[in-house]
Amino acid sequence: MRAWRSYGAASRSASSVMIRAGLNALFPRSPLRSLRSYSSVPSGASSRSARSAASVLTDRWRSRVTAADAAGCQRRFLSGNKGGGFSGEDGGESSAGSAGDEESGGDEGPYVPPQMTALAPMLVPEVFPNVPLVAVNRNPVFPRFIKIIEVRNTQLVELLRQKVRLAQPYAGVFLKKDDNNESDVVESLDAVYRTGTFVQIHEMQDLGDRLRMIVMGHRRIRINKQLDVEPEEAESLEEEAEQPKAVRRKQKRSRKDSAPLAEVMEERVREAQFAAEALPLPGVLMVEVDNVVHEEFQVTEEVKALTAEIVKTIRDIIALNPLYRESVLQMMQAGQRVVDNPIYLSDMGAALTGAESHELQDVLEETKVEEKIKQTHRKYLLQEQLKIIKKELGLEKEDKDAIEEKFRERLKDRTVPQHIMDVINEELNKLGLLDNHSSEFNVTRNYLDWLTSMPWGTNSEENLELSQAKEVLEEDHYGMEDVKKRILEFIAVSQLRGSTQGKILCFYGPPGVGKTSIARSIARALNREYFRFSVGGMTDVAEIKGHRRTYVGAMPGKIIQCLKKTKTENPLVLIDEVDKIGRGYQGDPSSALLELLDPEQNANFLDHYLDVPVDLSKVLFICTANVLDTIPEPLRDRMEMINISGYVAQEKLAIAERYLVPQLRTLCGLDEQKAKITPEALSVLIRQYCRESGVRNLQKQVEKVFRKVAFRIVNGEETEVNVNQENLQDYVGKPIFTVDRMYDVTPPGVVMGLAWTAMGGSTLFIETSLRRPRERQGKDGPKEGSLEVTGQLGDVMKESAKIAYTFARSFLMKEQPDNDFFVDSHIHLHVPEGATPKDGPSAGCTIVTALLSLATDTPARQNVAMTGEVSLTGKILPVGGIKEKTIAAKRAGVTCIILPAENRKDFSDLAEYITEGLEVHFVENYSEIYKIVSEMQRESLPLDS
Q: Would you list the DSSP string of 638-670? A: TSEEEE-PPP-HHHHHHHIIIIIHHHHHHHTT-
pLDDT (tens digit per residue) in 92-145:
333 333 333 433 334 444 444 433 333 333 578 888 888 999 998 888 888 888
Q: Could you give the CA distance from residue 743 to residue 387 in angstroms, rounded to a whole number?
A: 88
Q: Look at residue 941 in the predicted model and tell me its pLDDT.
A: 41
Q: Select the more confidently predicted residue: 879 or 267.
A: 879
Q: What is the CA 810 to chain-centroid distance, rounded? A: 65
Q: Could you give the CA distance from residue 803 to residue 844 in angstroms, rounded to a whole number?
A: 8
Coil, helix or strand for 547?
coil
Coil, helix or strand for 620?
strand
Q: Which of 491-495, 659-663, 687-691 has the highest mean pLDDT?
A: 659-663
Geometric angle at alpha carbon 352, from 347 and 355, rounded to 5°: 95
Averaged pLDDT for residues 513-517? 89
Q: Look at residue 564 in the predicted model and tell me its pLDDT.
A: 93
DSSP structural state of residue 785: P
Q: Look at residue 5 in the predicted model and tell me its pLDDT.
A: 40
Coil, helix or strand for 287?
strand
Closest CA relative to residue 191, chosen from 209, 204, 172, 178: 178
Domain boundaries, the chain: 2-123+239-278, 301-393, 399-453, 466-643, 649-732, 750-933
Identify the band that residue 719 occupies on the pLDDT scale cut at 50, 70 and 90. Answer: confident
Whether the pLDDT of residue 775 is over 70: the answer is no
Q: Which residues contact 804 (CB under 8 A, 6 or more apart)?
A: 844, 845, 847, 848, 851, 870
Averaged pLDDT for residues 254-260? 46
Residue type, 292: V
DSSP structural state of residue 280: P
Q: Select the more confidently predicted residue: 300 or 144.
A: 144
Output the average pLDDT for the chain. Answer: 76
Distances (CA, A) of 891 to 439, 915, 945: 68, 12, 8
Q: Could you give the CA distance from residue 679 to residue 656 in angstroms, rounded to a whole number?
A: 9
Q: Could you give the CA distance from residue 313 to residue 376 in angstroms, rounded to a whole number?
A: 10
Closest CA relative to residue 112, chosen from 59, 38, 186, 10: 38
Whether the pLDDT of residue 561 is over 90: the answer is yes
Cα dihedral 248, 250, 251, 255, rounded to 10, equals 140
Closest CA relative to residue 224, chosen from 130, 322, 123: 130
Coil, helix or strand for 129?
coil
End-to-end CA distance of the chain: 94
Q: Please state at what angle helix 696-714 crosses helix 679-688, rounded to 10 degrees.
A: 130
Coil, helix or strand for 461?
coil
Give me the sign of the Cα torsion angle 683, 687, 692, 698. negative
- Residue positions counted in the chain: 945
Buried b / exposed e across 741-753, counting CB within 10 Å, b at 16+?
Answer: bebeebebbbbbb
What is the CATH number assigned to the segment(s) 649-732? 1.10.8.60
Q: With left for phi above 0 and alpha for psi between -120 and 50, is residue 509 left, alpha or beta?
A: left
The total of other beta-carbon atoms located within 10 Å of residue 86's CB is 24
Q: Look at residue 872 in the predicted model and tell me its pLDDT.
A: 93
Identify the band that residue 394 occupies on the pLDDT scale cut at 50, 70 and 90. Answer: low
pLDDT (tens digit per residue) in 792-825:
999 999 999 999 999 999 999 998 888 888 888 8
CB 176 within 8 A of CB 186: yes
Closest CA relative to residue 641, chosen from 482, 470, 473, 481: 482
Q: Which residues contact 67 (CB under 8 A, 6 or more apart)?
A: 130, 227, 230, 272
pLDDT (tens digit per residue) in 593-648:
988 888 888 889 999 999 999 999 899 999 999 888 889 999 999 999 998 877 87
Q: Could you give the CA distance from residue 354 to residue 375 in angstroms, rounded to a whole number?
A: 14
Buried b / exposed e across 533-552, counting CB within 10 Å, b at 16+?
Answer: bbbeebebbbbbbbbebeee
Q: Look at residue 294 in the predicted model and tell me its pLDDT.
A: 72
Q: Select the more confidently predicted residue: 404 or 56.
A: 404
Residues annotated catalytic, as ranges:
842, 885
Coil, helix or strand for 778?
strand
- Could you write out the three-class secondary structure of 210-268? CEEEEEEEEEEEEEEEEECCCHHHHHHHHHHHHCCHHHHHHHHHHHHHHCCHHHHHHHH
pLDDT (tens digit per residue) in 828-887:
999 998 788 888 899 999 999 999 999 998 898 888 999 999 999 999 999 988 988 988
User: Strand (E) positions, 791-874?
Assistant: 826-830, 864-866, 869-870
Q: Look at residue 850 in the predicted model and tell me its pLDDT.
A: 94
Architecture of domain 750-933: 2-Layer Sandwich (3.30)
Q: Look at residue 384 in the predicted model and tell me its pLDDT.
A: 67
Closest CA relative to residue 831, chosen from 815, 818, 850, 854: 850
Q: What is the CA 778 to chain-centroid distance, rounded? A: 71
Averaged pLDDT for residues 302-310? 73
Residue type, 609: Y
Averaged pLDDT for residues 158-164? 87
Q: Look at residue 419 in the predicted model and tell me its pLDDT.
A: 92
The number of CA neighbours under 13 Å toward the Cβ of 610 is 28
Q: Please state at what angle helix 301-320 crosses helix 324-331, rounded to 10 degrees.
A: 140
The number of CA neighbours under 13 Å toward the Cβ of 794 is 10
Q: Which helix or strand (DSSP H or E) is residue 627 part of?
A: none
Q: Look at residue 91 in the predicted model and tell me its pLDDT.
A: 38
Q: Look at residue 297 in the predicted model and tell me its pLDDT.
A: 63
Residue type, 333: Q
Architecture of domain 466-643: 3-Layer(aba) Sandwich (3.40)
Q: Could you give the CA distance from residue 88 to residue 86 in angstroms, rounded to a whole number?
A: 7
Binding-site residues, in ranges, read: 509-516
Q: Select the more confidently predicted residue: 713 or 59.
A: 713
Q: Look at residue 8 in the predicted model and tell me its pLDDT.
A: 41
CB 529 within 8 A of CB 567: yes
Distances (CA, A) of 615 to 412, 506, 596, 606, 903: 20, 21, 10, 9, 41
169-183, 219-233, 515-529, 892-906: least confidently modelled range: 219-233
Binding-site residues for ATP, in ranges, read: 509-516
Q: Look at residue 116 in the predicted model and tell me its pLDDT.
A: 34
Q: With left for phi above 0 and alpha for psi between -120 and 50, is residue 848 left, alpha or beta?
A: alpha
Whether the pLDDT of residue 53 is over 60: the answer is no
Identify the band that residue 42 occupies on the pLDDT scale cut at 50, 70 and 90. Answer: very low
Whether the pLDDT of residue 546 is over 60: the answer is yes
Identify the band that residue 739 occupies on the pLDDT scale cut at 50, 70 and 90. Answer: low
Whether the pLDDT of residue 1 is over 70: the answer is no
Coil, helix or strand for 706?
helix
Q: Could you give the CA distance from residue 98 to residue 756 in angstroms, rounded to a whole number?
A: 95
Q: Is the pTM of this model over 0.85?
A: no
